[in-house]
Amino acid sequence: MEQELIRLGSNENLLGPSPKALEVIKNNADQLHIYPVEEDWQLAEKLSAKIGAGITKEHLLIGNGSADVIRMIVQTHVMPGDEVLFPLPSFAIYKRLTHVHRGVIVNVPLKDHHIDLELLLGAVTEKTKLIFLCNPNNPTGKIIKHEPLEQFLKKLPEHVLVVIDEAYCDFVEDPDFPRSAELVANGHNVIVTRTFSKLYGLASLRVGYGFGHLETMERVRSTRHVSETGIVAYQAAMAALTDEAHEVNSLEMTINGRNYLYQELDKLGLNYLKSEALFVTLIDLPMPPAQLVAEARKHNLIIRHTDVFDMPEAVRISIGRQEDLEKAVAILGQILK
């Protein structure tokens, strides 16, 4: 019999989907022939109530995953020759989308695996259209804190729009994590993107959202036909927002999982980056990262070589359930012995 795969390569929530969302999907599957009408605004309204800080449904835009919201932002803002600035290593999509829209990619390196805001500021020019900040940063798991971020935004020229990708914000423990809705409310030229793919376990439903200033969001919204996602996805996302037990369990799995992994990696003598996200990244590996990933795959363990994020020297392990992590640690031990 083929052994089951241990999927720790794509930062999926291995607890599974929110059970409340699942129930709604089962009960509403017979509505799939209908286009959504009111559901987009209904979900936006529920999200705005959760976000607070004066963010209303008009400040929100829902997309086919947060990657789709990011796509719409680039599509509406980047013209050929515009500069798009972001630190590297970071999430791969910023580079790909800028390329598609014939923007000019400008990168600055990280400093000790953290985003260096001073360096970013120094790289801003008259042509800078967008800045991407992934917070927590994928694949390093490090965060920018509220105060430095606000100071950075205050120093930026007005023509620069900052996209803060908060795909992993729900897993952050640091109390100084930016209150990003407050930054939007305070007038900074920012769009914040978030997702139902991680905490709510709905990666394959494809629901994400962004919020920012009314005029900016109106411009981004102009790329849409009717809606980016379907009626059942909206309904399931609304149900997931009320599923407190699943939220708590997902967060607990992640925090306990990170701590368990640190402890076991220490025992294996492996170096890693402490993370505020749904993954931990291994550095200073005793074998080539691609080889480690390939060896792991032979044992049915999927982990990610971070070369796709311009970090060729590392390997990222997603946080799973305790049993997934125990198996992963045993396999790593076997490969590295």
Ligand X SMILES: Cc1ncc(COP(=O)(O)O)c(C=O)c1O
Q: Does 65 bind ligand X (CB under 6 A)?
A: yes
CB of residue 309 to ligand X, shortest distance in Å: 9
Nearer to ligand X, 55 or 134 (CB): 134
* Nearest in space to 292 (alpha carbons), one of 306, 278, 275: 306
CB of 128 or CB of 195, closer to ligand X: 195
Pairing mode, strands 83-88 and 128-134 = parallel
**What is d(CA 207, CA 64) in angstroms, rounded to the nearest whole number?**
5
Residue 195 found at the interface with ligand X (CB under 6 A):
yes
Rule CB under 6 A: is residue 209 a binding residue for ligand X? no
Cβ 257 to ligand X, closest distance in Å?
17
- Distances from the Cα of 66 to the Cα of 63, 122, 322, angstroms: 6, 28, 28
Q: Which residue is nearest to ligand X (CB)?
A: 65
Minimal distance, residue 143 CB to ligand X, in Å:
12
Residue pair 217/59 in contact by the 8 Å Cβ criterion? yes
Q: Which stretch binds ligand X (CB under 6 A): 46-54, 195-203, 247-255, 285-293?
A: 195-203
Stretch that binds ligand X, among 60-68, 105-113, 155-163, 290-298 (CB under 6 A): 60-68
How many angstroms separate the Cα of 67 from the Cα of each of 4, 14, 75, 131? 29, 20, 12, 15
The site for ligand X, by CB under 6 A, has a size of 13
Q: How many angstroms separate the CA atoms of 9 and 138, rounded?
A: 12
Q: How far is the CB of 272 from ligand X (least distance, A)?
A: 18
Under the binding rule (CB under 6 A), the answer on residue 134 touching ligand X is: yes
- Nearer to ligand X (CB atom), residue 171 or residue 272: 171
Q: Count CB neighbours of 68 within 10 A.
A: 21
Residue 202 or 296: the one with the smaller Cβ distance to ligand X is 202
Q: Which of 297, 293, 298 is nearest to 308 (CA)?
A: 293
Work out how close the CB of 63 gets to ligand X at its nearest, in angstroms, rounded to a whole number: 8
Query: Which of 34/308 has CB closer to ligand X?
Result: 308
DSSP secondary structure of 49-116: HHH-TT--GGGEEEESSHHHHHHHHHHHH--TT-EEEEEES--THHHHHHHHTTPEEEEEE-BTTB--
- For residues 189 and 306, which CB has a smaller minimum distance to ligand X in the complex? 306
> What residues numbered 159-188 form the site for ligand X, per CB under 6 A?
165, 167
Backbone dihedral region of 284: left (phi > 0), alpha (psi from -120 to 50 degrees) or beta? left
Footprint on residues 73-132 left by ligand X (CB under 6 A): 91
Write down the least CB distance from residue 11 to ligand X, Å. 5
CB of 286 to ligand X, least distance (A): 27
**Which residues contact ligand X by CB under 6 A?**
11, 65-67, 91, 134, 138, 165, 167, 195, 197, 203, 208
